[in-house]
């Protein structure tokens, strides 16, 4: 089993690599022996303290693009294929939050959330599937518990995360012809810099988020990375088309935890 978790120098593409869950994935996959191909819209990451520690200060290991733009994803796939050849795993984490009531939400906001969270995954899967390793390759897409249960002002975010679960299942069918697995992960609240900042600004109530779980706390990014690495690895060889919930029990109950 432990050997199946190792990537033995195989290339793994990770989007949203510069922060939060994506950054934790970069660290864990590196520990598991993968050759990280990091992708993020933040242009400074490759040369940052984290990026340098991960060996991403080589230009061909870090690609700064907007994954919601078709031409940029096409170009990325071409360059990655020419630099690395076959890809072992694709981990699609890049995404953004959204807080707006349906009544006040303008179409531009809705379109931006769908484009960033869902269209990006369609583009990445479409461009990278043809260059993935047959029979052992795998894709992991970032969804959320918001795919299954929502709250006020979360319509766009929930719709985008629900669409990712459906896209994942449909992609798993098509990828199965080449023996490639496709799964989604659905975390509850995770203590990432984005949420810490939102908590400090009073936009996000982190204590309430923690209380909604059975464990009374938010997840650490590394706990989500553990699941992602398992699903991406050969150890998860019989898991495909699944949306795996990792939420400290958040979805297992109705109402407040007493």
Ligand X SMILES: NC(=O)c1ccc[n+]([C@@H]2O[C@H](COP(=O)([O-])OP(=O)(O)OC[C@H]3O[C@@H](n4cnc5c(N)ncnc54)[C@H](O)[C@@H]3O)[C@@H](O)[C@H]2O)c1
The catalytic residue positions are: 157
Q: Does 184 bind ligand X (CB under 6 A)?
A: no
Cβ atoms of 115 and 159 within 8 Å: the answer is no
- Residues in contact with ligand X, counted by CB under 6 A, come to a total of 28
Q: Which of residues 195-214 bind ligand X (CB under 6 A)?
A: 195
Q: Does 40 bind ligand X (CB under 6 A)?
A: yes
Closest to ligand X by CB, 132 or 186: 186
Closest to ligand X by CB, 75 or 136: 75
Distance between CA atoms of 203 and 170, rounded to whole angstroms? Answer: 35
Q: Does 189 bind ligand X (CB under 6 A)?
A: yes
Cβ atoms of 62 and 45 within 8 Å: the answer is yes
Q: Does 231 bind ligand X (CB under 6 A)?
A: no
Distance between CA atoms of 225 and 20, rounded to whole angstroms? Answer: 10
Distance between CA atoms of 137 and 177, rounded to whole angstroms? Answer: 12
Pick one of 6, 30, 32, 41: the residue that binds ligand X (CB under 6 A).
Answer: 41
Q: Which two tokens stand for residue 177?
A: 């012809």
Q: Which of 136, 89, 99, 143 is nearest to 121 (CA)?
A: 143
Q: How far is the CB of 70 from ligand X (least distance, A)?
A: 12
Q: Does 144 bind ligand X (CB under 6 A)?
A: yes
Write down the residue that tokens 């400090």 correspond to. Answer: 200
C-alpha pair distances (Å), 94 with each of 32, 63, 116, 182, 205:
21, 13, 8, 17, 23
Q: Does 119 bind ligand X (CB under 6 A)?
A: no
Q: Which of residues 60-99 bind ligand X (CB under 6 A)?
A: 66-68, 93-96
Q: Does 19 bind ligand X (CB under 6 A)?
A: yes
Helices 120-128, 155-175: inter-axial angle, 10-degree rounding? 20
Closest to ligand X by CB, 64 or 136: 64
Concatenated DSSP letters of 93-113: -------B-TTT--HHHHHHH
Q: How far is the CB of 71 from ligand X (least distance, A)?
A: 13
Interacting span for ligand X (CB under 6 A) from 19-27, 133-141, 171-179, 232-240:
19-27
**Residues of the shown chain interacting with ligand X in the complex, contacts defined by CB under 6 A:** 15-16, 18-22, 40-42, 66-68, 93-96, 116, 120, 142, 144, 187, 189-190, 192-195
């Amino acid at each position: 089993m432990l050997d199946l978790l190792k990537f033995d120098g195989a290339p793994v593409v990770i989007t949203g690599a510069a922060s939060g869950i994506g950054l934790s994935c970069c660290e864990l996959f590196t520990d598991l022996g993968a050759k990280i191909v990091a992708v993020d819209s933040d242009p400074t990451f490759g040369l940052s303290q984290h990026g340098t520690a991960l060996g991403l200060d080589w230009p061909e290991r870090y690609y700064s693009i907007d994954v919601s733009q078709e031409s940029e994803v096409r170009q990325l796939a071409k360059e990655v294929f020419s630099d690395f050849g076959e890809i072992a795993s694709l981990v699609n984490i890049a995404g953004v939050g959204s807080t707006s009531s349906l009544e006040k939400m303008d179409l531009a906001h809705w379109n931006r959330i769908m484009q960033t969270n869902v269209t990006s995954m369609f583009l990445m899967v479409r461009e990278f599937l043809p260059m993935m390793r047959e029979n052992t390759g795998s894709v992991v897409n970032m969804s959320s518990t918001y795919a299954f249960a929502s709250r006020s002002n979360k319509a766009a975010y929930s719709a985008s995360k629900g669409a990712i679960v459906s896209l994942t299942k449909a992609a798993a069918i098509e990828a199965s012809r080449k023996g490639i697995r496709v799964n989604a992960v659905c975390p509850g609240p995770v203590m990432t810099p984005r949420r810490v900042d939102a908590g400090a600004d009073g936009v996000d109530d982190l204590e309430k988020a923690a209380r909604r779980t059975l464990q009374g706390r938010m997840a650490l990014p590394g706990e989500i990375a553990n699941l992602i690495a398992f699903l991406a690895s050969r150890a998860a060889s019989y898991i495909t088309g699944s949306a795996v919930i990792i939420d400290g029990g958040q979805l297992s109950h109705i109402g407040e935890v007493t």
